[in-house]
Amino acid sequence: MRYYARFIIVCLLLNKDENVRQLISELEGLIEEYTKSFKPPDAKEWQMVLEEISTFTEAEKKLVPINLDRTPDKIEHRLSANIPERNIGSVCKLKLQEAILVGNYQKQIKFSELTLDMYRMLQSLEREPYVLHPSTTTKNTKSNDTNANESIAGSVKEEQSTTVATKSTGTNLGANTNPSNKRSNPHKYLLYRPSLSQLMVYISTAFKDTSDGSALLLYLSADGCAYPDQTVPGYGGGVVTNQRNKITTNADRATAANPSSNTAAGSATTSSVNVVPATAVSTTVAAASNNASSTAGSNVVASSTNAAAATTSAEPTVTTPSVHCLHPADLVPFTRKPLFLIVDSNNSTEFKNMPNVFDQPVMCLMSPIEYPSSVQDKSEIGSLFTLFLHTPLLGFCSVSDIGNLDQQKWDACVQKIAIMEKAIGDLLITDATVDKNVKRFMSDDFLYYFIVRFVLCGIFLRYHSSFKDERSFPSSFPSLPDSVYVSSEIVTMLGDLTAIADVGTYFSLPSYATTTGTTNIAITSTATIINPGSNASSINVAAPTVNVAPTPVNTNPISTSPTSIVTPMEIA
């Protein structure tokens, strides 16, 4: 059953949806047989594993409109392997080299230690494997071999990638053999509910590995923390990290009493690093042993005690910053190299004035801090802001309550979103008022689409009838010109999109944006253009909806590590 659970994760990362559906069905049968035959003490834990994957796949399925034949539409999730070059001008280009994806929400949809929002960002940072098209028949055999290697390797970068535990020798496995294709996927760390000390270690490691002319992406999905009376610059709030200052479960106590088990878990995680890149992900699974967590917990206790003492002696008008909070000032040392920050939190705007003291490119995309009551909660479909960055069309369907859409209209919507993205990108590149550092980030394909989709999200929400408060709109630092949000060209395209999907009542658009909808429907409904910046997967796994809280540390039968996705474990 543990092998089944791990293989489900592998299939999720590779978008093998048919395999996921089959594996879930077989795992359900195995768990039922296991429970009836042995009546084991961990039966509830295995039921929770089944509920988690069911909730995970159901959350994805809820967003996908259904065709007339009752089948889900096919969704494009990954970037195309062939994206045309953009003329950014005279600015120095950047390349996204390292990415850290953090899931620290107390309550979020997850399977094992892979949250739904982390999964979406992970897919958004992947490019479809490059496929060669030989011009002569004599090269067919060689090209087929090359394509097979690239499909396995996922067009993994050839540069040496470093993990905290060891050098990843699997990064070069089956590396792209086409010399003309210089684009590659960034190296990634997945951190599920890390403590502050763990998070800082991984940020430091990724920062060290980021070379000249490259950028580091930090994605934070976490609850916010704020201090209304705080006056210390840079420490007025931020996002919460995980607290491990005490042992709360029997499994924790048993693991702490037997440190040797931590070594085995760590070794297993290190070996799995070489497996993940070979499955077209090039992802480093960030794992931390319970022994290290216990040590970090002891330090946290001491820090908390010192902080409490400092609070007592400090001025009554100043609140002592939390030792479990990542503050904007904590990231200032890492702005010595280009840093691209995405904060999805109810206190995201705390990062809007992060100082740039080293004159390096720094940009922060911040989620809305409040959503209207009509918008679905993240416990049902994940974060709306992350969804827009992942696949804007699904975000549009979510806020417009689109549940049924025939294939012809769906294809027309896909094309219209692609045209809108290109128009937004062109406006940002040609606008002289846009910060030059923003344009530098736009020279990278992945960051380009994040910025464009961020603007697209802002346009959708600003013209949506339910979104009226500024707190419900995304924001950025440095800020982007308002002209891009009110561009008549883009707003007219939005009117066309609402007409195609027949959801015009959800949006309050200017009169000029609603007059050409009928004509554009006839034009776009027959188009077959696929969004080059959209991403590739068919989400069609049907499963019962069960919303569950994240599994407590060391109770998941799949893993003992708080930040590991595929670490094996022997059940006590």
pLDDT given for residue 180 in this prediction: 41
Q: Classify residue 266: in a domain, yes or no.
A: yes
Q: Classify residue 35: in a domain, yes or no.
A: no
The reported pTM is 0.73
The enclosing H or E element of 226 equals: strand 224-226
Give a three-class secondary structure readout of 304-368.
HHHHHHHHHHCCCCCCCCCCCEECHHHHHHHHHCCEEEEEECCCHHHHCCCCCCCCCCEEEEECC
Q: Classify residue 566: in a domain, yes or no.
A: yes
pLDDT given for residue 403 in this prediction: 79
pLDDT given for residue 411 in this prediction: 87
Q: Classify residue 46: in a domain, yes or no.
A: no
pLDDT (tens place) for every residue of the chain, 572 residues total: 999 999 999 999 888 888 999 999 999 999 999 999 999 999 999 999 999 999 998 887 877 777 666 666 567 678 877 777 777 777 888 999 999 999 999 888 999 899 999 999 999 999 887 665 555 444 444 444 444 344 333 333 333 333 333 333 333 333 344 444 455 899 999 999 999 999 999 999 999 999 988 999 999 999 999 887 766 788 888 999 998 654 333 444 343 333 333 333 333 332 233 233 323 334 444 444 333 344 444 443 344 444 444 444 444 456 788 889 999 999 999 999 999 999 999 999 999 888 888 989 999 999 999 998 877 666 678 999 999 999 999 999 999 988 778 888 888 999 999 999 999 999 999 999 999 999 999 999 999 999 999 999 999 999 999 998 889 999 999 999 999 999 999 999 999 999 999 999 999 998 887 754 443 433 333 333 333 344 433 333 333 333 333 433 334 444 433 333 433 333 33
Residue 421, CB-side half-sphere exposure with 13 Å CA sphere: 25
Which domain covers residue 104, as residue numbers? Answer: 96-123+136-163+171-360+553-572
pLDDT given for residue 122 in this prediction: 94
Q: Classify residue 311: in a domain, yes or no.
A: yes
Contact partners, residue 245, CB within 8 Å, separation at least 6? 297, 298, 300, 301, 304
Q: Classify residue 37: in a domain, yes or no.
A: no
CA 452-457-459 angle, to 5 degrees, is 95
* Number of neighbours of residue 56 by Cβ within 10 angstroms: 25
* Number of neighbours of residue 365 by Cβ within 10 angstroms: 26
Q: Classify residue 354: in a domain, yes or no.
A: yes
Answer yes or no: are the C-beta atoms of 90 and 532 closer than 8 Å.
Answer: no
pLDDT given for residue 69 in this prediction: 65
Give a three-class secondary structure readout of 411-471.
HHHHHHHHHHHHHHHHHHHHCCCCCHHHHHHCCCHHHHHHHHHHHHHHHHHHCECCCCCHH
**Domains contained in the chain, number:** 1
Phi and psi (nearest 5°) for 162?
-115, 135
Q: The sheet that has 95-104: what strands, in order across it?
A: 283-285, 187-192, 95-104, 214-222, 339-344, 362-366, 475-477
Q: Classify residue 230: in a domain, yes or no.
A: yes
